[in-house]
Structure 1
Amino acid sequence: MNEAAVKTIVTRVLKNLKSIVKIPIGVSNRHVHLTEADFQKLFPGKKQLTVKKELSQPGQFAANESVTVIGPKGEIGKLRILGPFRSNSQVELSATDARTIGVKAPIRLSGDISGTPGIVLRSPYGELQLEEGVIVAKRHIHMSENDASLLGLKQGDVVAVEASGDGRKIVFNDVVIRTGSRFNLEMHIDTDEANAGNITSAVIGRFI
């Protein structure tokens, strides 16, 4: 069998495999990531976040601590801080949230905050000005390197996913693959995207 024939067969196998893979969908509400230094400025005397709930990705958790974000046109309270600490502080809002408080937040992957708007964070103990870090999170799929390899995918690939909420079938294009040794398979969208497709945490997506 020649190389071209082998490639054709492999492509067909991968396509068939993708079509049957069920992708759990996680709806990500607005939240904040903080550096250890920024956390201690907002919560003086505390050295660590305290865990409220473990999240689906290993090692990630929602903390008991929360903050208010203050924009030019308003504020949103009780934004949950997610742990563990990050190398850069970051605020993730939906597009609706950002417009409501007057912030022109770009759509970015988490961690890509260069040139993004700043914002004021307020805790019960004080305020902190972030010079940058406000984004609308780009939709993405977490998966392990092994899962990605089995599916013929790699870090940074872009795929389309179909999901069927109650009475609303929707296709999400431009979904970015994010791989990691400890990642569980899960697609993350924000509340605006979930509302558009009437999607809850029980909804499963599939590659198309």
Structure 2
Amino acid sequence: MNDIQHQAEWLTRQIMQELAAGKNPAPLMIPVGVSNRHIHLCREDMDVLFGYGSTLTRMKAVKQPGQFAAEETVTLRTQKGDIPNVRVLGPLRNTTQIEISVADSFVLGVKAPVRMSGDLHDSPGIEIIGPKGHVAKPHGTIVAWRHIHISPQEAQLHGLRDGMEIDVQAEGLRAGVLGHVVVRVSADAVLELHIDVEEANGFGLRNGDLVYRINPTV
């Protein structure tokens, strides 16, 4: 049994004990993960950009299990401008997805919608330049919607469901409320709020800072 399974079983026991004792769970404190512009590649595009059969080189792990930042980078290009050194995140996916900031969309001259990962319908296209070739994508460029990764056990403890939206409070000199934070429940998730660099700067947040859920009044 791995550490994640042990943690899940321990948390489940804690939840059941608190529910049995009639206790209210402690406020949900959520670590922040700040996401810079990056790209997820499919196998076909990886072959074109980095060579047939190429693989991603792990540079460092990110918090969500199995995911990592790769050493490989690409350039994003439109008729208006370029953004070089855009990090590839692994592992490979079924569909290529480009995640940029609102400021990046001005540089590139595209109207990237604020979307959840995987919702690429009617999103703008872009050209991706790699060391071995280039790919012109007809769509796939988005600004990532702020969201929380959470395990089923923690979600149950705090009355959360996959897909629901909650508000969270950031403290400090630039304190404020982040609204419409989408909850994403998955079996192997590690609790984390994902926001982009612009949102982090606006609230004075850095990786590892804590925010907390504002409990609904009704």
Selected match of 1:61 from 68, 75, 86: 68
Selected match of 1:134 from 138, 141, 144: 141
Selected match of 1:194 from 187, 190, 200: 200
Q: Which amino acid aligns with 2:177?
A: V
Equivalent positions of 1:68-107 (< 5 A) are 68-107=75-114
Q: After TM superposition, what 4+ stretches of structure 1 lie above 6 angstroms from structure 2? A: none
**Structure 2 residue aligned with 1:17:** 25
Distance (Å, rounded) in 2 between the aligned partners of 1:23 and 1:33 = 25
Asked if 1:182 is matched to 2:188, the reply is yes
Mean Cα displacement is larger for which, 84-93 or 46-55?
Answer: 46-55
Q: Which amino acid aligns with 1:101?
A: L
Distance (Å, rounded) in 1 between the aligned partners of 2:79 and 2:158 = 45
**Structure 2 residue aligned with 1:3:** none
TM norm structure 2: 0.85
Unaligned runs of 5+ in 1: 1-9
Please give the per-residue CA displacement for 1:79-138, whole angstroms capped at 9, x wherever unaligned.
Answer: 100001111100000111111210100000011101110000001222110111000000
Shift of 1:65: 0.5
Task: Give RMSD over aligned pairs.
Answer: 1.5
TM norm structure 1: 0.89
Distance (Å, rounded) in 2 between the aligned partners of 1:173 and 1:21 = 15
Q: Which amino acid aligns with 1:207?
A: R
Shift of 1:145: 1.2
Q: Secondary structure, in 3 states, of the residue corresponding to 2:105?
A: helix
Contact 1:25 1:205 in 2 (8 A): yes
Q: Secondary structure, in 3 states, of the residue corresponding to 1:129?
A: strand
Shift of 1:21: 2.0
Q: Which amino acid aligns with 2:133?
A: G
Selected match of 1:30 from 22, 32, 37: 37
Please give the per-residue CA displacement for 1:7-57, whole angstroms capped at 9, x wherever unaligned.
Answer: xxx9xx89x536x22100100000000001111110114431110000100
Distance (Å, rounded) in 2 between the aligned partners of 1:205 and 1:27 = 13
* Alignment length (residue pairs): 194
Shift of 1:70: 0.7
Contact 2:58 2:71 in 1 (8 A): yes
Distance (Å, rounded) in 1 between the aligned partners of 2:192 and 2:75 = 28
Q: Which amino acid aligns with 2:25?
A: L
Distance (Å, rounded) in 1 between the aligned partners of 2:165 and 2:142 = 19
Asked if 1:163 is matched to 2:170, the reply is yes
**Structure 1 residue aligned with 2:8:** none
Unaligned runs of 5+ in 2: 1-18
